[in-house]
Amino acid sequence: MTMKKNRFEVVLKDGSQLKEEGICQILVDRETGVHYLAWKSGYAGGITPLLDEEGHVVVRKDDVENSD
């Protein structure tokens, strides 16, 4: 039986559930290359596409190809 790969890969994780500020993560969608900023603390959290300095969504196909 082959295992299915997760669609999202965590490329950066900072913080702790034990701290008030919670955990901040950068996720990469393996299919599209889109990067997301995710944050969670306790029972709250949020996710949004990561933007560059010009306000464009960060998309890097090379991150997807190199993640296999």
pLDDT along the chain (68 residues), means of 10: 81 81 91 94 92 94 60
Q: What is the pLDDT of residue 67?
A: 52
Residue 61 CA to residue 15 CA, distance in Å, equals 27
Q: What is the pLDDT of residue 25?
A: 94
pTM for this one? 0.76
